[in-house]
Chains A and B, each alone.
Chain A
Amino acid sequence: MPETFDEATTLKRRTFVAASTAVAGLPLLTSDRLPASASTPTPADQLSTVRLTVNGEQRTAQVDNRTSLLDLLREHLDLPGTKKGCDQGACGACTVLVDDRRVNSCLILAVMAQDANVTTIEGLARGRGEQLHPLQQAFIDHDGLQCGYCTPGQVMSGVACIAEGHTGSRAEIREWMSGNLCRCGAYTNIVSAIEQTAKEA
């Protein structure tokens, strides 16, 4: 069912925390020795409405143009399964599928996801989340995690890695999963989970 989210009228805790942090950060920015931006756009020009499909559902949100796809998912669309690790495209925790291709949602402006078809970790299981995707089950079977923070990104990246056919050997899986860091070091078992799922696919 289509859903409209207006950030001006609905303020959730997470949004509130983010907004407060942004305000607290302002004095730092203005005291920066860099000159101010050439011209600051009017407040209205800083906002956009974005319409996209997330896990099969049409969603609409009004966002500040600075909002990343990651923050749109987590803070505006109530889908916190996708994780924020480095927020600079270096760790892969924020991996989602856009039009079936794996991408780092932290480096995509939400406004650039207009009309995109996004799949997050919440959209992987079938039947209201009761039937896990085979790779999710394989992560459990192989103990492919410890703290679990990188896991949603690992699973989304692994699903794409299998679909791309980059699973010919453990070495190939490691190379094509190198965009997903795991600071617990669960790599051996992550590779096993992907290897098994690829064989059974």
Chain B
Amino acid sequence: MHPFAFSRVSTTAAALNAGAGNGRYIAGGTTLVDLMRETVERPAHVVDINALPYKDITVTRQGLRVGSLVRMSELAAHPEVRVTYPVLSQALELGASAQLRNMASIGGNIMQRPRCPYFRDVHSACNRRDPGSGCDARGGDNRMQAILGASTHCVATHPSDLAVALVALDAVVEVRGLDGPRSIPVQDFFLRPGDTPQKEHSLRSGELITSLTVPAGAHTRRSGYLKVRDRQSYEFALASAAVALDIRGGVVRGARVAVGGVATVPWRLPKVEEALVGRRPGRRTWTEAAALAAEGAVPLSENAFKVKLVERTVRRQLMTIGGQ
């Protein structure tokens, strides 16, 4: 680990001033400390923001607001969230371990960096870590890599389960900079690698995530998360699906579907949603809609299995949420 200066801030103004001076914010530290130890991250100044007041969870008729410093375990266990936004609780509890969920903040969760082994190994070529150096993953061990949203520069999947659920529910990331607050729709928050794989999100330098909001809707109660992995627990997704359905009068009125483990960013599936809305719930509807889940996929040498896997993951979760 490279040497760094450490400071604590207790006001947002102090945090933003430190951030403007290239201070690196730390909350749970589960991503940052790990990557600092690997020397992938080498901040000269680490700023502890845990004393800031972004720790509340509020559920109203308009929706859900979660402070960025709320821990994964706290949001997952919140009684109203479990009932009204079950897809969030499920995505959280299917991620990491009980210990890590006690540590990791909600703001930090969506700031997670790729889990690609070549990104984490400073002796490998990686355009995200070292722009222009190349991508050892594409022609290397690419079984876990993305089949959607990749570019010639990067094929790393996005690791967050929570982010998949947030994208499905049209969440908004509330941030604050020295210029004031602004709101970023979560779909615009995560950036595909394109020609600038080192740019993973649309935060401006020094901006701080203060909260996430999730709008209320008829679909949020009938929602859930399915995660398919190499082992039963404590593992990243091979494929995952966040599904939320509004079914009334024997017809699908609204549908939200997003997938994880297969794309470079949390991946919303608007064509699957279109194929669901207006249809009668049932096996045929689920199967026909899920067949569109991998549209546009470009598999690598070892991960073509993800094409069928993501279709079946979506289909199974539609059956679970919508009924057979």
Residues of A bordering B, CB below 8 Å: 29, 32, 34, 37-41, 45-46, 48, 64-66, 68, 87-89, 92, 95, 101-104, 107-109, 111-112, 114, 157, 160-161, 164, 166, 174-180
Contacts and interface: CB of A to CB of B under 8 A. Distances in A.
Given A88-B37, A176-B98, 12 more contacts: A34-B42, A40-B3, A41-B3, A41-B5, A45-B5, A65-B46, A89-B30, A112-B48, A112-B50, A157-B98, A175-B232, A179-B234
A160 B98 contact: yes
A8 to B, nearest CB: 16
**How would you classify the secondary structure of chain B's contact residues: helix, strand, loop or mixed?**
loop
B203 interface: no
Given A65-B5, A101-B102, A104-B100, A41 B34 contact: no
Contacts, number: 107
Given A34-B130, A107-B29, A178 B4 contact: no
Contacts of A160: 98
Contacts of A34: 39, 42, 122, 130
B256 to A, nearest CB: 26
A162 to B, nearest CB: 12
B55 to A, nearest CB: 14
Nearest to A68: B33
B97 interface: yes
A69 B33 CA distance: 12
Contact of B99 (A29, A45, A48, A102): A102
Contact of A29 (B5, B22, B39, B100): B39
Nearest to B8: A114
Nearest to A108: B29
Given A89-B30, A107-B29, A157 B99 contact: yes
B251 interface: no
18 contacts: A34-B39, A34-B130, A37-B2, A41-B4, A65-B3, A65-B4, A65-B46, A89-B100, A101-B73, A107-B29, A107-B34, A109-B26, A112-B26, A112-B48, A112-B50, A114-B8, A160-B98, A178-B234
B218 interface: no
A110 B6 CA distance: 11
A95 B102 CA distance: 12
B178 interface: no
Identify which of A34, A38, A48, A160 gathers the most chain B CB atoms within 10 Å of its CB: A34
A38 B36 CA distance: 14
B34 A103 contact: no
B2 A175 contact: no
B1 interface: yes
B96 interface: yes
B44 interface: yes
B201 interface: no
A172 B42 CA distance: 39
A34 B130 CA distance: 8
B6 A109 contact: yes
Given A41-B44, A46-B4, A65-B46, A161 B103 contact: no
